[in-house]
Amino acid sequence: MTQLLLFIHLVGLGMGFAGGIGSAVTMRFAAGANAEGAAALKRLPPVFANISATGLLLLWATGLIMVWSVFGGPGNLPQLFWLKMVFVLALTLLAGAQHATYAKIRRTGNAALGARMKILGPASGLSALLATLAAVYAFN
């Protein structure tokens, strides 16, 4: 059971990174495309954000289950786990801000709000990398 949970946890991690990288690459291509091509490409980042969010949900669900089923509760976790959780919480808040921004763009039609993604996207990526680094050191 633990191996299955860890497998699903790692799939969630992969989905998170894949969505972020896909969105970043798509926006780079959109910046150099003609108006019609850019408009088509700019429809993809919200889809990638949903892939990342699904991965984040898998990480939360499997992570919480493993805290109790593998470690017997939060009191038995290494201290670096809590540093990892700071980055996971930051990532979760940033992902929420991204989804809120996409929803506001859809609701208002104000595409200029997409400029926020130039901050939110890299900040999310950095949070995910730091959470992964802390996890590697916390769990050897």
Task: State whether the Cα torsion 38-39-44-50 is positive or negative.
Answer: positive
- pLDDT level of residue 40 (50, 70, 90 thresholds): very high
- pLDDT tens for each residue of 64-96: 999 999 999 999 999 999 999 999 999 999 999
What dihedral do alpha carbons 96, 103, 111, 18 form, nearest 10°? 50
**The pLDDT of residue 140:** 83
Read off the pLDDT of residues 9-18 as tens digits, 9 standing for 90 and up. Answer: 999 999 999 9
- Domain assignments of the chain as residue spans, ordered by start: 2-139
- Could you give the dihedral angle defined by the CA atoms of residues 139, 18, 57 and 63, in that order, rounded to the nearest 10 degrees? -10
Q: Which residue has the higher pLDDT, 88 or 111?
A: 88
What is the pTM assigned to this prediction? Answer: 0.90
CA distance 42 to 30: 7
State the angle between helix axes of 2-31 and 117-139 in degrees (0 to 180), rounded to the nearest 10: 150
